Amino acid sequence: MRISALFISFILVLPFSTAKTHTLDQTYPPSLHLNTSTIEPSNIGYNLNLNNLTGSAIEEAFSGIPSGTTRLSITAYQFDFKYAEEFLAGVALIPTNVSLLDLTSDHLAKLGEEKFIKTLALFPENLTYLDLRDNNLGELKNNQLAVALAGIKGKLLEFHLGHNELAKLKRDHLTQVFANIPATVTDLDLWANDLGVLKTQDLVPAIATLRAAHLDLGANNLSKRGGVHLGKILESLSANITHLSLRANQLGTLTDMQLATAFATLPSTIVSLDLIDNSLSDINGDELATALSLLPSSVATLDLSKNNLHKLGHEQLAKMVARIPDTVHDLNLSANHFNELLISHFSAILKALPSGVNTLHLGSESLFFINNSGATIAKVLSTIPASVNNLDIRGNRFYLLRSGKELGIALHAIPDTVRTLSLESNNLSYLKDRQLEQIFINLPLSITTLNLSDNLLGNLNGTQLAKTFASLPASVNTLNLSNNFLENLSKEELAIALAGIPATVSTLIL
């Protein structure tokens, strides 16, 4: 194949940071497509710090925002709101092309009801993302929060209202606040507002007004009033909602089939359900299995991570896994301390997975065993069902293995039905022998997509990286190298590294 030269210029941009530019004269396979998730030259971020500013300096700070800014973060947690008029005048100067606005932890409730309403009305019309987390908005009186939300212009798509003590609002006011969330919002974050302490008759009418397709009700103490209360909440959810997060709601406190009763009320429109960090192992294994079996058949993505499921014991755990509906295709079992189980017991659980699961997550030290070796990990990986095409084993501290060869032994055991493999966040550059090329020489030829993001690969030199990339199997056509601090390499070292990428790689994510 003839390799042609391609002149590439790109800018690495992290949110609200100074951009760093690399210009490369580099040889690439002619088919290579740079799909760079962290390289966004069109998105200019700016962090405006208002802390301790007074008087005219406030408006001057706003006027210094570059006109091309599209992402703006305003820091004002030490701002004196006796200068609220100056703050308002400054908000009016925000560039009209700002589409992302972050006002997290800025104590905006201190503006007072009238000025808070005016502030939101001044936000740019191009706004699609708004973050108002942790602003004590539940302290606003006289239904002014609802009035303020009704005044937001533009087509807001993602809205964060977490950590705002919304449970402090009066019943009718909460319902009006939720009803006045812009109808364009598709992603709504209501995390940690203690909504579960409200009486059923106070909370359910408010919940019923929510229309966002993605709804985060995490950390709201929704199990506080029992399973019947939770069931009424879930039953009131709009048919618009497809992605629901119930993480960190202490669902493990629901006994005597209360969780099963609640799950039976979930709308049949839910396709993704997040149950992370709910201490589900505190429930009897048979009850938990029954509850999961009652999930609507629409649920295709189920996240059970961080629930200490190992405490159920391998027999009950295998029974529970087996009763997950076959309609679940994406299953996350990460951070459940499966590494504390016997290898044979862990393998038995994997063998019990429903036949519908094609994406499996076993991250967060699931595979970090006391007697850690490539052979030990291989015994587990070899029992992954043939239905699994996408395997995520991020965050398993593989760098603590003795060598790249040890990890290569483990990965060689992955069934040849796996097409996508994530090794993200394993600090691979810290392998003792730094021979990363030994990891991939025996990687199954079925792998077409490989995620190596967040492995500190920028710690290696260009030659080491080139050898690593050159060892990738010819089957890999998509390679994710994002968040590896590659921008810290010199132009020459980066060129050497990227030259090792096989010609078969057509999509490179930096």
CA gap 495, 491 in Å, rounded: 6
Res. 16: pLDDT tops 50: no
pLDDT tens column, 395-406: 999 999 989 999
Nearest to 215, CA basis, from 254, 279, 266:
266
Q: Is 293 left (phi over 0), alpha (psi -120 to 50) or beta?
A: alpha
Residue 233 CA to residue 204 CA, distance in Å, equals 6
Alpha-carbon span 437 to 425, nearest angstrom? 17
Length of the chain measured in residues = 510
C-alpha distance across the termini of the chain, in Å? 24
How far apart are alpha carbons 68 and 73 in whole angstroms? 14
pLDDT digit string, tens, across residues 333-360 = 999 999 999 999 999 999 999 999 999 9
The pLDDT assigned to 445 comes to: 95
Nearest-angstrom CA–CA distance, 78 and 84 = 13
Q: Give the C-alpha separation, 404 to 398, whole Å.
A: 9
Nearest by Cα to 426 from 441, 417, 436? 436
Decide if pLDDT at 433 tops 60.
yes
Region for 488 from its dihedrals, namely left if φ exceeds 0, alpha if ψ lies in -120 to 50, beta otherwise: alpha
Note the pTM of the prediction, 2 decimals.
Answer: 0.90
**What's the chain's average pLDDT?**
91
Residue 338 to residue 340: CA distance in whole angstroms: 5
CATH topology of domain 308-510: 3.80.10
pLDDT average, residue stretch 115-135: 97
Please report the pLDDT score of residue 43 as a whole number: 66
Categorize the per-residue pLDDT at 369 as very low, low, confident or very high, splitting at 50, 70 and 90: confident
By three-state DSSP, how is residue 483 classified?
coil
Q: What is the pLDDT of residues 228-283, one digit of tens each?
A: 999 999 999 999 999 999 999 999 999 889 999 999 999 999 999 999 999 999 99
Neighbours of 158 (CB within 10 A): 17
The pLDDT tens digits of the residues spanning 22-72 come to: 333 333 344 444 444 443 445 689 999 999 999 999 999 999 999 999 999
Kindly state the tokens that stand for 278.
């709910």
Can you give the pLDDT at residue 10?
A: 33
Please tell me the predicted confidence (pLDDT) of residue 22.
34
Q: Are the beta carbons of 290 and 254 closer than 8 angstroms?
A: no
- The residue extents of the domains of the chain are 308-510
- Check residue 145 and give its pLDDT: 97
| Residue (of 312, 375, 298, 382) closest to 341 by Cα position | 312
Q: What pLDDT is recorded for position 255? A: 86
For residues 37 and 14, is the Cβ–Cβ distance under 8 A? no
Single-letter amino acid, residue 455: N
